[in-house]
A and B are shown apart, each in its own frame.
Chain A
Amino acid sequence: MADPDRFTPLPAQAPPSSSAGPLAWVRANLLSSPLNVAMTLGVLYLLVSIVPGIIDWAILKATVSGDGPNACDATEGACWTFIRLRFDFFIYGFYPEPERWRVDVVLGLLLLVVGPQFLSRFPGKKWIGLFGLTAFPLIVAMLLMGGLFGLPEVETGKWGGLMLTLVLSYVGIVAALPIGVALALGRRSTMPVIRAICVIFIEIWRGVPLISVLFMASVMLPLFLPEGVNFDKLLRALIGIIMFQSAYMAEVVRGGLQGIPKGQYEAADALGLGYWKGMGLVILPQALKMVIPGIVNTFIALFKDTTLVLIIGLLDVLATVQASIVDPAWGNVATEGYLFAAFCFWVFCFGMSRYSQSLERKLHTGHKR
């Protein structure tokens, strides 16, 4: 039995509605001052005047069904039929239809290689990553180009769509990484000639727009080569992208090298490690780990920049959209096409930037002082 003299606290009361709950939230976040009220009303007015129209156009009045350009004749809304019918073209370009399973296999492999890297723990994650940087591009090249093991050859001129965008950006980043590391080491070298060569190389590529690099690769590269030697268009674009990207990569890696405390360099020297061993075993593993977010950000920039190859006549995902919307049979479907392409890029870039942010938070422990 409860002792009547014993102190029993009253049950806790809910906080007053003026300091907690939705009403208080609204007051604190939307209506805290006259200026805030005015801004809230302004934004609400903006949303009310724009959002219903967009929903109407994109969902309520949109057409998805149908199997030809005529399906959209009567509609006022978006013509998603166009996207549905051209979807394969946007993904594969002119890659021959019976061979498209090869692209699917490559995309599946890509998912298997890249997916584990996003997980915090996965058995053999490091080895899968190493496989992705070394053997994987070769397997992909073999599969996509064909001509071996009874696979019919598919010339690179037929590659296109999202697949080409992925190939360009993946190869660009994988090839630029080692060159970038070498350039960054060269830029921090004590040998003046090596340093000068690296600085000039990096600054030239970083100082000019990617378009001019691509133009140079497509117009000037054939002039540089001995007569009779000729690269195909895709390879020339890739060389341009790799040169350009390795300069940016070098600056990212240099940031990491500079972030390593001097004691680490001295420790490596004190252990009697030579330059290459000291760099390879002590400095680079730490520096590269620190700059992974920077590398991901470079990759995002490269991924968006691959759209520029359409200017030298390659058929990336934006180029397939561009080629489809000028088709007079379809009327004006530019907005739908661009929205689709934008969505493709947005999903990749937003996902990667979120990944790089979370990585940054996770890695922001060791060298924080």
Chain B
Amino acid sequence: MAADPRYDTPANGAPDLPSRPNPINDPRVRAIAFQVLALGLLGLFLWTIFQNTLANMESRGITTGFAFLENPAGFGILMSLVDYDETFSYGRTFIVGLLNTLLVSGLGIAIATVLGFVIGIARLSKNWLVAKLALAYIETLRNVPLLLQIFFWYYAVLRTLPGPRQSLEMGGAVFANNRGVYLPAPVPEPAFWAVVAALVAGVVGTVVIARWARKRQDATGQPFPTGWAGLGLIVALPGVVFLLTGLPLSFDVPALKGFNFGGGVRVIPELMALLWALSMYTAAFIAEIVRAGILSVSHGQTEAAHALGLKPGVTLRKVIIPQAMRVIIPPLTSQYLNLTKNSSLATAIGYPDLVSVFMGTTLNQTGQAVEIVAMTMAVYLTISLSISFLMNFYNRAMALKER
């Protein structure tokens, strides 16, 4: 038996028999036994569920597997970003639903971020009225369930709008009625691509200039007005090209034809209500996060920046915002995730998102509960994990660099 250093021979040299503890009392043995037991129980549990499911599906005549994805769906979908009609397959309904989910989440995140930052800053405004108005917004929207807000916008506001003939009108170009909101659609002519090219060139040029300017400032201390140069390249350059090529962009303005509108882009009321409610609800949470982030930067930092002779604008950009962002980003990420997951409430008002189309209609028609629920959950898990991965990456770049 190998000598255990813990039970070494006593000083008198007489070899004592090593008194090894009873294995029952050895923490390592117990840990292994406990883990094996847990794994075994979990395996047994999953196995039972698996067997039950197989038996149940057999007795209900449901075939397992993903073959159903090839079958024709045979139902229409209210809104689709890709070609779709009844003859497409169930697999296609998955794509349509997924794209609709991504559309509403992406737009929602963009709007909620802007709105949230504005309200969060307004909450800290020196103007008493503005601060209290922001407070009222936050406390009202945050404490009312999102589903209720979606219902409110959909059933109480958008569905009670007048019919197409009495549409609400804004500037003769935007129309709102109970069938949706109609916006002018941009129609690019071939020469418009030159403008796009100019925009891309402007962005690339700005990045190059910013790099060069930072390198020069590090080396010589000479600042360079990157902001103005960037503005010139990104806004003015495409603008000039746009004018030179003779305004190659026209708008397809919606117009009343018979009983309905033709032309333009139609935003269905379901999307409108969902997007509106999601962004306003999430903005209330983002506003609180932004406020906490800004307040977390101690006043001493501002004073130190002023003492160094930095102007208020520079102080804000180079001292306060970078430090506040460090506090803001982790909770902001979880709000983005929440918004994406909350977009599944679409199913309550019939916006054709992934849950509503795939987990709703497709599941009801095929009965393939296990496959469909697993696919849907896998999508949300992938989105969640990739957003949190991206945000962790950004967070690491922003985090305090200790030297």
Contact = CB atoms under 8 A, between A and B. Distances in A.
Contacts of B345: 211, 308
Contact of B56 (A29, A223, A300, A311): A223
Interface in A286-302: 300
A307 B148 contact: yes
A114 to B, nearest CB: 18
A308 B144 CA distance: 13
B218 to A, nearest CB: 36
A192 B34 CA distance: 11
Interface in B31-78: 31, 34-35, 38-39, 42, 49, 52-53, 55-57, 59
A318 B147 contact: yes
A207 interface: yes
Interface in A211-228: 211-212, 215-216, 219-220, 222-227
A318 B148 contact: yes
Contact of B344 (A207, A209, A216): A209
B147 A307 contact: yes
Interface in A238-270: none
A215 B145 contact: no
B35 A207 contact: no
Determine which residue in B34, B57, B130 has the highest number of CB atoms from chain A within 10 A of its CB, and name it. B130
Contacts of A224: 49, 52-53, 56
Interface stretch (B85-93, B177-185, B379-387): B379-387
B122 to A, nearest CB: 9
A342 interface: yes
A304 B145 contact: yes
Contacts of B384: 206-208
Determine which residue in B53, B142, B156 has the highest number of CB atoms from chain A within 10 A of its CB, and name it. B156
A interface, over-half SS = helix
Contact of B373 (A43, A212, A345): A212
A32 B156 contact: no
B160 interface: yes
A29 to B, nearest CB: 4
Contact of A220 (B31, B126, B144, B370): B370
Contacts of B128: 29-30
Interface stretch (A68-76, A89-97, A99-107, A332-340): A332-340
Interface residues of A, number: 54
A349 interface: yes
Interface in B361-401: 363, 369-370, 373, 376-377, 380-381, 384-385
B359 interface: yes
B381 A204 contact: yes
A310 interface: yes
A30 B151 CA distance: 37
A43 B142 CA distance: 21
Nearest to A222: B56
Contacts of B49: 224
A225 B39 contact: no
B341 interface: yes
A175 interface: no
Contacts of A207: 377, 380-381, 384-385
Given A207-B381, A307-B148, A39 B355 contact: no
Contact of B143 (A36, A220, A350): A350
A149 B237 CA distance: 84
B55 A209 contact: no
Interface residues of B, number: 52
A181 B204 CA distance: 51
B34 A191 contact: yes
A207 B344 CA distance: 13
Contacts of B42: 197
Contact of A191 (B35, B55, B151): B35
B62 to A, nearest CB: 9
A215 B148 contact: no
Contacts of A318: 145, 147-148, 151
Nearest to B377: A208
Contacts of B147: 307-308, 310, 318
Interface string B100-134: 00000000000000000000000001111110010
A204 to B, nearest CB: 7
B interface, over-half SS = helix
Contacts of A29: 126-128
A226 B145 contact: no
B303 interface: no
A219 B359 CA distance: 10
B230 to A, nearest CB: 26
A212 B376 contact: yes
A164 interface: no
A334 B148 contact: no
A192 B36 CA distance: 11
Given A212-B355, A215-B373, A227-B56, A30 B380 contact: no
Contacts of A338: 148, 151-152, 155-156
Nearest to A224: B49
B127 A219 contact: no
B80 interface: no
B57 A223 contact: yes
Nearest to A225: B52
A117 interface: no
A305 interface: yes
A209 B57 contact: no
A193 interface: yes
Interface string A320-350: 0010010000001011001001100110011
A303 B31 CA distance: 39
B148 A341 contact: yes
B348 interface: yes
A194 interface: yes
Contacts of A308: 147, 345
Contact of B127 (A30, A304, A305): A30
A304 B147 CA distance: 9
B203 interface: no
Contacts of B359: 212, 215
Nearest to A43: B129
Interface string A176-215: 0000000000000011111001000001101111111001
A208 B139 contact: no
21 contacts: A36-B127, A39-B127, A39-B129, A43-B133, A192-B35, A206-B384, A207-B385, A208-B381, A209-B355, A215-B373, A223-B53, A227-B56, A304-B146, A310-B147, A325-B155, A334-B156, A338-B148, A346-B143, A346-B144, A349-B142, A349-B144
Given A338-B155, A345-B143, 14 more contacts: A29-B127, A30-B129, A39-B127, A43-B127, A197-B39, A207-B384, A223-B52, A225-B56, A226-B55, A304-B144, A310-B147, A345-B148, A346-B144, A353-B142
Instruction: Rank and list the top 10 A-B pairs by shortest CB-CB distance, nearest first.
Output: A349-B143, A29-B128, A209-B341, A193-B35, A304-B145, A207-B384, A334-B156, A209-B344, A207-B381, A307-B147
